[in-house]
Amino acid sequence: MQKYTLSEIVHYLGGKLVGNDKTITGVKSLEDANDEQITFLSNLKYRSKIDETQAGAIIVHADSKNLPENKSYLFCDDPYLYFAKVMRLFYPTPKTIGERHPSAVIHPSAEVPESCEISANVVICANVRLGENCRILAGSVIGTACVLDEDCVIYPNTVLYPKTILGKRVVIHACCTIGADGFGNARDMHTLEWEKIPQVGGVVIGSDSEIGAHTTIDRGTLSDTIVGEGCRIDNQVQIGHNCQIGKHTAIAACAGISGSVKIGEYCIIGGAAMFVGHIEIADGTIIGGGTAVTRSIKEAGYYATCFPLQTKKDWSKNAVHIRHLDDINHRLKILEKKLLQSS
């Protein structure tokens, strides 16, 4: 475990030390930190916890006032971001150990630099090209002609279908499937049966993106499905064929994005949000959790259509009227007309 003094942390990350310098051995929450550990206060809702914390140092906002005197503080502009950076200082990303496990199956035509770590039972198919320092963890399957740029990490049991392309430092968590066939089927209107449309595009994921466990990103039909650089995609997200996700967009867990959706850059998509196909979402848009995005969004903003939670009893009483809203509106119009006439 790394150790840093508070002044070393300031040296690396900026900010201002107020209080005694001391050696810090790790990061914990306000409740759990001891006097050799650092913690942070980002949400002022938890302000009172500062009085009780045993932490050796606290990361706080630069304009904090009336802080308890007997503690050390790191003042900064954005305590949560600073906390993230402190975490990365104490818990740096693991590096390749350059292992090539004997149980791994690597096709002779694959280019696998010696710096790469290839774990047990990994399968690397023909014509794959890995960049330096890639880590392919146990049981993952890298399909034919995939290209991974340097420093990618593929967690266990993930599957890359053939021709998937990853930029630098892409991280893909366990049990993802990248590049499966999109859901392309034409219905024969005479037989009502489905004719499968071969999916021959690919998937391209930009540098510095991270994909959560169990996420599926389908290959394009004719051209590529694209995830821009610096994206953050959570677990169990589904991204349909031909989608384009702009750079630095974040998508929370369980979101489902139909085919041919174009989401802009720097968007934030809430968990379990769902998108109909063939729409475009403006750069910088925020979508609330559980929202059904049923049309294109041309103007950035915060969109959300999640319901007010109620007991089943209250909800049943109210929801039944949703089925008759048109009627309610009609009755209201009649009353308005009557009152207007009579006045």
List, by residue number, the catalytic residues.
241
Pick the stretch among 17-25, 51-59, 126-134, 189-197 that binds a copy of itself (CB under 8 A). 189-197
Pairing of strands 37-40, 57-61: parallel
Q: How many CB atoms lie within 10 A of CB 270?
A: 21
> What is the amino acid identity at position 277?
G
Torsion-angle region of 318 (φ positive above 0: left; ψ -120 to 50: alpha; else: beta): alpha
Q: Which of 56, 230, 246, 264 binds a copy of itself (CB under 8 A)?
A: 230
Residues 66 to 85 in contact with a copy of itself, rule: CB under 8 A: 78, 80-81, 83-85
* Range 255-274, binding a copy of itself (CB under 8 A): 256, 258, 266, 271-272, 274
**Which among 189, 184, 176 is positioned nearest to 200, based on CA atoms?**
184
Contacting a copy of itself within 286-305 (CB under 8 A):
288-295, 297, 301-305
With contact defined as beta carbons under 8 Å apart, do 231 and 167 qualify?
A: no
Residue 325 lies near a copy of itself (rule: CB under 8 A): yes
Per CB under 8 A, 193 contacts a copy of itself: yes
- Please report which helix (H) or strand (E) contains residue 123, including its range: strand 123-124
User: Which among 35, 90, 81 has a CA at the least distance from the CA of 58?
Assistant: 35
The CA distance from 40 to 55, in Å, is 9
Total residues at interface with a copy of itself (CB under 8 A): 126
Q: Which residues contact 104 (CB under 8 A, 6 or more apart)?
A: 118, 119, 120, 121, 122, 123, 124
Q: For a copy of itself, which stretch binds (CB under 8 A), given 17-25, 57-65, 68-76, 284-292?
A: 284-292
Kind and range of the H or E run holding 242: none
- In the complex, least distance from residue 141 CB atom to a copy of itself, rounded to whole angstroms: 4
> With binding defined as CB under 8 A, does residue 46 bind a copy of itself?
no
- Does 54 engage in binding with a copy of itself (CB under 8 A)? no
User: What SS3 state is found at 166?
Assistant: strand
The mark string for 87-126 relative to a copy of itself (x by CB under 8 A, - otherwise) is xx-xx-x-------x-x-x-------------xxx-x-x-
Say whether residue 44 binds a copy of itself (CB under 8 A).
no
Applying CB under 8 A, among 4, 73, 75, 161 the residue interacting with a copy of itself is: 161
